[in-house]
Structures are given as structure tokens and as C-alpha cells.
Amino acid sequence: MKRLMLTLAALIALATPAFADVEVQEITSPGGIDAWLVEEHTIPFVALELRFKGGATLDPEAKRGAVHLMTALIEEGAGEMDAQEFAAAREALAASYSFDAWNDGISVSARFLSENRDEAVALLREALINPRFDEDAVERVRGQVLSGLRSDATDPDKIASLAMARAAWGAHPYGSDAEGTLTSVAALTREDIVAAHRAALALDRVYVSAVGDITAEELGVLIDDLLGDLPAEGAPMVGEAEFQLEGGLTVLPFDTPQSIALFAHEGIPFDDPDFIPAYVLNEVFGGGAESRLNDEVREKRGLTYGIGTVLSTRQYGDMVIGKFATSGARMAEAVQVVRDEWARIAEEGLTEDELERAKLYLTGAYPLRFDSNVAIAEIMAGMQFQGQDAGYIARRNDLVNAVTLEDVNRVAKRIYRPEDLHFFVIGQPEGLTSE
């Protein structure tokens, strides 16, 4: 058994096709399920990725955390096997499965050897189609979730993040924790979990990618066997989220020597024509180790060990969001520096040198992401989930290189709005009070 698992781990590590060799096939199974495939027959191993759109946003309002708890229970027994028997069967096959839920979706990842492919897929099928949701497993996993929520209640990062989410998204599911609350999770019944399974895992919202030792014909048969008995349709998707956060400052008192700041305003969707220029902008402004914010806040003034920003894109709403930590005595100064830099990039944009260095880094780093079968399968599933076509991999660097100084400076005025920037500071910051 140990040797089998070590073999699988070694094959995962060795499965490293070159970026230039990534040729994506778009296939449709005999049963009508679409998938993306990259064949790589030099290693007897397959990485399979599934994404189900909807995720924890499908939770009924009073049952927040149902999809998250359901997903955590998928592998805790299936069909005729209880949790221990399922785990033993998986280990005997040297297969690896992982399941995760977040607000916008559910991911299912499977890795298995070619020689065990049929058995590994059959076992995964049982987990997806016939999960048991035994009462003892429900109570055990519920206890783990509740323990995590109690820990979150004393975690300043989590407290600040939830405060920002509530202020930004209000009653939309984005405004609460995808894992639920102590009250909502404690009240969930087995029937709620079964309903969450039926709502979230359906054929009308699944995306499939595979990389490795498998042909298009074989993959078509595989995904029909694996997914064909799922419901044709799941629960209706929720509506768009209305961004409600206005510019300002919220101080959350908390007894800690270091204060933490989150800052954000409304962002830009992934399918916006200006997203690529915005992505290049963010790399210069707050995305990298040599960003403007890192230079001004950390290097020049020593106010923090690190600061960064991201373009947070979601299915129903988007944010430009950043974070740093510093002592309470210096938080006010750091907040002002960030505000000043936010205004400066909106007004001045980038220099030609900054733009060219960012493009050189982003185009050089992109191929390095395709460093294994597993990574490629994950990237392809994510692309489908975001609505990209299979040709995006080949043209992505061309899109980055096509960004001009005029593009980024125009977009800087559009997306960086200092008057809308809101800070959530948790800790004991001196000289700051909620606005």
C-alpha cells in the first residue's frame, strides 16, 4: 500500500509536459457532456477535475453552510461502504480525491493510475452519486466545522473579512460565511444535506477537464459513467450581488499588538474588455513583490512586512481588495500612504518602464504555471468555469503584450477610485476612528 501511494506521488511529480505542448481538445461525450482534454501518454497517470457552478450561494437563507457541510461529507461513505471502508478502497487503488466548496462553486479533484482507472472512477462515482450521509459521519464532520467556526470567531483576519463582506454585499450570500454560522450549522439536518447535494451537483452546471494517459474516446465513456446519473438540473442560481460598500473607514476594536487592515472598493469582472489592462496595472500597483505599494509602505517607511492587492473576480460581483498589517501606533500613517498611492495611480497611471517590466514578468511567469498534469487540469477547469474558450491558453501572453500605456492609464482612471476606498482596521489603531 505504501509503495502504491509513493508511486502515485512520484508520477504526479514527474508529469510535467512543456507549456508549448499543451494542446487542448474539446470533446463531447456520447451522453452530451462537454470536456477539455490534454493527452499525455508518457506517464501512466490521469488528473481529472470537475467544477460545479453555484456552490454555497445555493444555500437557503436559513441553512447557510449546508453545501459546505455536504461537500465535506461526500467521501465519508458511499453506496455499501461506510467511511472507513471507502477510505480503505481508495487507498487500495492508490487514488486521490479531494472535494471543496466555496461561494461560487464546488470542485472535485481526482488523481489515479492508468492501471486502476476504471476502479478509481467507479469509486468516485459512488461518492458523487450515492453518498451515504450517515448520521455518525454527519455529527463528526459537523463537529469539525463548528470547531473551525469557533476558532474563526477569535481570528482577527476572519472577523475583518466577514465585516467587509457584510458591508459590501448585504443580504446576498457573499455577505456571509460560506461555511455558515454556529447557529445555522448546528441546526442542519440530514435532509438538508441531501437537499444540498441534489441542488448543487447537477449536469447543467458541471465543467470537466482531464490531463494524462487517456484518449478522447476513453474520456467520453469515463465521464458518462461517472456523471451520467446526476440530476439534469440543479437549484436555480442566485441573482447578481449589489455592491453596497461606500468609501470610508471602519475600526473594529480587538486586543492584539498588531492591527490588520483590509481595504477595497468595487472591482472589474473577468469578462470585461479592460480586465487584462487592469490585471497588468494591479501587478505594478500591488500585485508583486516589487509593487508600488510594497515599495512605499514597506521598503521606504518600514510600516509592514508585506502588502498586496488583488482583482477579486466572482460570479456575481467583483472587488479590488488589499491587505496589510502593522503596529497600532503606525496604522494611521500606513492607511494614509495607501490612500495617497491609490489617488496617485488613478491620476498619473504607469510609466512606460513600469508597464514593460510588468509585461515581461507576467508573460515569463505564465508558462511556469503549467508545470504538471495536475496544474494543467486545474487551470483548464478554472478557465471553463470563468467562461474562457480553449484558445485562451495560447493567446493569453499576446493579450498581455498588446496592452499599451494608453490602455493602462485609461483603465487606471476607471478602476482606481480613491473616494470609494473603504478600510476595515481590526486591532488597536492609534488616531483612527470609524467614519
Spatial CB neighbours of 332, under 8 Å, sequence gap ≥ 6:
429, 430, 431, 432
**pLDDT computed for residue 274 by the predictor:** 98
**pLDDT computed for residue 365 by the predictor:** 95
13: pLDDT confidence band, cut at 50, 70 and 90? very low
The answer to whether residue 20 scores a pLDDT higher than 60 is: no
% of the chain beyond a pLDDT of 90: 93
* CB distance 164 to 317 below 8 Å: no
**pLDDT computed for residue 34 by the predictor:** 98
**pLDDT computed for residue 332 by the predictor:** 98
The answer to whether residue 425 scores a pLDDT higher than 60 is: yes
Residue span(s) of the chain under CATH 3.30.830.10 come to: 2-227, 248-380+387-427
The mean pLDDT value for 208-214 works out to 98
The answer to whether residue 5 scores a pLDDT higher than 50 is: no
CA atoms within 13 A of residue 53's CA, in its CB half-sphere: 20
**pLDDT computed for residue 22 by the predictor:** 84
The answer to whether residue 51 scores a pLDDT higher than 50 is: yes
21: pLDDT confidence band, cut at 50, 70 and 90? low
The answer to whether residue 307 scores a pLDDT higher than 70 is: yes
DSSP letter at 287?
I
> Of 22 and 392, which is predicted with more confidence?
392
313: pLDDT confidence band, cut at 50, 70 and 90? very high
Q: CATH number for the 248-380+387-427 domain, one of 3.40.190.290, 3.40.309.10, 3.30.43.10, 3.30.830.10? A: 3.30.830.10
55: pLDDT confidence band, cut at 50, 70 and 90? very high
What does the alpha-carbon distance between residue 196 and residue 68 come to, in Å, rounded to a whole number?
A: 9
Which is it for strands 258-266 and 318-327: parallel, antiparallel or unpaired?
A: antiparallel
**pLDDT computed for residue 14 by the predictor:** 47
4: pLDDT confidence band, cut at 50, 70 and 90? very low
The answer to whether residue 124 scores a pLDDT higher than 90 is: yes
What does the alpha-carbon distance between residue 293 and residue 285 come to, in Å, rounded to a whole number?
A: 6
Summarised one tens digit per residue, pLDDT across range 73-105 is: 999 999 999 999 999 999 999 999 999 999 999
The mean pLDDT value for 342-368 works out to 97
Mean pLDDT of the chain: 94
What does the alpha-carbon distance between residue 38 and residue 214 come to, in Å, rounded to a whole number?
A: 9
Residue with cell 469515463: 222
Put simply, whether the predicted model's pTM sits higher than 0.75 gets the answer yes
Q: Decide if domain 2-227 falls under CATH 3.30.830.10.
A: yes
The answer to whether residue 19 scores a pLDDT higher than 60 is: no
**pLDDT computed for residue 60 by the predictor:** 95
